[in-house]
Structure 1
């Protein structure tokens, strides 16, 4: 039988391998980013068909601040420690309807479009450029309409994804005010929950054996101006 001390040590080690995404552009934790439900536990979203897959929130409470950026500029999202699980980083945007508050809007419905996803390197194992990093720059498309947006950061950990429900989703949403944009409207938008199937080959995948020679990111294609 494991001693209580050993059990505690194992729990601490497991938690230390997990992470949150609490800030953008070097601001304070959870000031521009809506505080996710894993802010203390470093836990992950397991049920991709539940509401937490959107921004990892049950209450959908807004952040106290909004970051103003220019369309075409780069925003850097930060994790609270290195991302040490293998898997892709992905980023989505959703535009707040005119006349609504970015602090109160919940991002429901087919309003999300993808602006980045990470592909692995292939060889004797899959290699991910995000692995071990704690800062993740993403470019805001220059052609999208100005307005208030939610920027959704997502890392999908695939080390246990060989069975349905094994993938781990680390998610949070930042509040942005985007200026200097164009008139483009992304043609492909999805909802969270709803965008992902638990058995999608990019979500249910054994990355250990046989070693994959391709990888299909879940969600829509990346929007480009």
Structure 2
């Protein structure tokens, strides 16, 4: 366990330039777009969000203000979409991808994503082995992609990628959230009912066993992914 404790300390001390990865580009229509072409710019150099009650948890610091300067990409229901990072994920943790549909008559670039409107469409979780080992498949990822459900209703949406870094999550507020929101316009969809719907902030209290957790000592016997169930159509 001394080795695990040392690794935890070392992870906490890694320089910010190495650890603070950013979701910068949309993956859609068979390619990866330019940085921040369709992803809302944040204004905090991607220092992580740690307050789960803050509206910064929605689209990162500054993300609620940069919509008008962000383009909206047309995508087709049933196609592969996702977000790419400027460097690979470094910290052990998990990834969630949420979407939210702008109200009828509202452009996604003008919307703030408020209310019970968010639903989870993808996740990358930990793999545990009864307290003897744990692996973090998100570490080393440089992108996350998923299939847009074929029966998702047409409309303008956020695609929100969230990496929850857990290397110093043993105290409340220690978990680090790396977040970005992309803007897309979905066509060719159906009449599905995405859900469960949650608010961001509001989806997390910060006391969930998958957020307030010591991942080193003792090694978790199991891991519970925070947030609602994945909607796959």
**TM-score, length-scaled by structure 1:** 0.90
Where do residues 44-193 of structure 1 align in structure 2 (5 Å cutoff)? 44-58=48-62, 59-62=64-67, 63-123=69-129, 124-193=132-201
SS of the residue 1:109 aligns to: coil
Shift of residue 186 of structure 1?
1.8
Q: Report the secondary structure of 2:127's partner residue.
A: coil
Deviation at 1:205, TM superposition (A): 0.6
The answer to which structure has the higher strand fraction is: 2
Contact 2:127 2:223 in 1 (8 A): no
For the aligned residue pairs, the C-alpha RMSD in angstroms reads 1.7
Structure 1 residues 37-68: Cα deviation after superposition (integer angstroms, max 9, x where no partner): 33xx2310011100100000344321431111
Q: Distance in 1 between matches of 2:232 and 2:16?
A: 38
Deviation at 1:108, TM superposition (A): 0.3
Aligned to 1:207: 215
Structure 1 residue 72: Cα displacement: 1.2
Separation (CA, whole Å) in 1 of partners of 2:61 and 2:133: 34
Q: Which residue of 1 aligns with 2:18?
A: 16
Cα offset for 1:133?
A: 1.8
TM (normalized to structure 2)?
0.87
Partner of 1:94, secondary structure, is: strand
- Mean Cα displacement is larger for which, 116-125 or 10-19? 10-19
Please give the secondary structure, in 1, of the residue aligned with 2:136: coil
Q: How far apart are the structure 2 equivalents of 1:143 and 1:77?
A: 21
Kindly tell me the number of residue pairs found equivalent between the two proteins: 214
Query: Which aligned segments of 4 or more residues in structure 1 are displaced greater than 6 angstroms?
Result: none
1:76-104 CA-partner distances (Å, limit 9, x unpaired): 31111110111111100000111111110
Kept in 2, the 8 Å contact 1:73–1:139? The answer is yes
Cα distance change on mapping 1:163 and 1:99 into 2, 3 Å: same
Deviations 1:138-167 (A, max 9, x none): 221111101110000000000100111110
The answer (yes or no) to whether the contact 1:125–1:208 under 8 Å persists in 2 is no
Between the aligned partners of 2:225 and 2:105, the Cα distance in structure 1 is: 34
Partner Cα separation in structure 2 for residue 42 and residue 100 of structure 1: 28
Q: 5+ unaligned residues in a row in structure 2: which ranges?
A: 1-11
Q: Distance in 2 between matches of 1:187 and 1:135?
A: 24
